[in-house]
Structure 1
Amino acid sequence: MKKRFIAAVLIFAVLIAGATGLVWFGAYNVGADEPHWPITYALMQTIRNRSIAVRAEDLPIPNLNDPKVVLKGAGQYAAMCTGCHLAPGMRDSEIRPGLYPQPPDLSRQRVDPRVAFWAIKHGIKMSAMPAWGFSHDDATIWSMVAFLQKLPGMTPAQYKAIVAKAPPDEDMDMDMSGDHDHASGDKP
């Protein structure tokens, strides 16, 4: 029994020393231009997906079909999300190629409303996804979720039309002339 305990302690000490060496000597490249090791990527995806699922599963979903709510969400999405998550007709953006992991193209894929709300509100560590809950209330975040439910399959013309009608994002800064500017270049 005593030999097993000593062996376990030695194995643990070797693992700790090895991990410390990897960290100290910079063996793992944290640069966003080099992908994670496959095992690291798989582990991080699983941790992210399970973490969000557990925290989002009991969120009550409000009415996401109210046209005014969807319209408000369109303006929010255009102002805050298209640089990373794109819009219909966008193939890429200036910032997106440099992000790792790549953010999902939300103009092409559906997202679960609870998962979307949680990710928008709380952000995702070690990614470019900010926690918008610091600057936006829950109603505003749910408006973005409502818009995300309509976004996949939308044509570029439909997208531009809804963004043009969207109310300005009062939480975003105004440009020097006082006009509200959406990321797409379209002003409401």
Structure 2
Amino acid sequence: MSPSARAFALGVATTVAVAAIGAFAFVNAGAYPMGADVPHAPLTLRLVDRLRDASTERAARSVQVPGNLADPALIAEGAREYAEECTGCHLAPGRASSELRAGLYPQPPNLVEEGIDDDAEAFWVIKHGIKMSAMPAWGRTHDDRRIWSLVAFARTLPKLSPAQYRALVGTASRDDD
């Protein structure tokens, strides 16, 4: 190895070592605000969002979407599940906020307005949850059919009026604030 190549390698190694020591010191200093009432720094937010999106997109590639997601019985089953377990964070038609949602950071998607973009990814997220976001891993308590019913319902949610939502849910609705 030539002297200039050796100097370059030493410079890179030194830079990496200093960065690692700095990162270690920053993490252990406890200086980063972790309270859910203080937003992330813009760069941190972009990195976390990209990490979450890339991870869930990759993981969802292996999910096989069933062909029955338009089945009214499956959608109705999902509506009841959603009313029981999801409205506190993801809201419902005619419901603009909740006490639980107000305290969450990052804010969960408002599925009434945003819906879902990808059935396989929605299934994966519901089944496995998202770390450090308050999204639970429902796969620990729900079988795949129940999770697919939630996906089937979430696909229809942005198209529902409050009256249509109440009709689907029935009188068993309860909010998890």
Give, as a single letter, the amino acid of the residue that structure 2 aligns with 1:48.
Answer: R
Q: Does 1:75 align with 2:68?
A: no
Give, as a single letter, the amino acid of the residue that structure 2 aligns with 1:150.
Answer: T
Task: Report the secondary structure of 1:108's partner residue.
Answer: helix
Q: Does 1:24 align with 2:28?
A: yes
1:3-38 Cα deviation digits (max 9, x unpaired) = 222222221221112112211221211111111111
Say whether the 8 Å CA contact 1:83–1:183 is kept in structure 2.
no
- Quote the residue 1:36 is aligned against: 40
- Quote the residue 2:110 is aligned against: 105
Residue in structure 2 matching 1:47, options 51, 59, 62? 51
Deviation above 4 Å: which 4+ runs of structure 1? none
- Quote the residue 1:121 is aligned against: 127
Q: How many residues align?
A: 170
Task: Report the secondary structure of 1:125's partner residue.
Answer: coil
1:34-77 Cα deviation digits (max 9, x unpaired) = 11111111111111111111111242221111111111100100
Q: Distance in 2 between matches of 1:150 and 1:83?
A: 18
Give, as a single letter, the amino acid of the residue that structure 2 aligns with 1:29.
Answer: P
1:121-154 Cα deviation digits (max 9, x unpaired) = 0000110100000000000100010101111021
Q: Distance in 1 between matches of 2:147 and 2:16?
A: 45
Q: Root-mean-square deviation (CA), in Å?
A: 1.5
Q: Does 1:182 align with 2:166?
A: no
- Quote the residue 1:65 is aligned against: 70
Deviates further, 30-39 or 52-61: 52-61
More helix by share: 2
Deviates further, 52-61 or 116-125: 52-61
TM-score, structure 2 length as denominator? Answer: 0.90
1:71-107 Cα deviation digits (max 9, x unpaired) = 1100100010000000001110011111111000101
Give, as a single letter, the amino acid of the residue that structure 2 aligns with 1:52.
Answer: T
Task: Report the secondary structure of 2:114's partner residue.
Answer: coil
- Quote the residue 2:91 is aligned against: 86
Q: Does 1:6 align with 2:16?
A: no
Gapped runs of 5+ residues in structure 1?
166-180
TM-score, structure 1 length as denominator? Answer: 0.85
- Quote the residue 1:149 is aligned against: 155
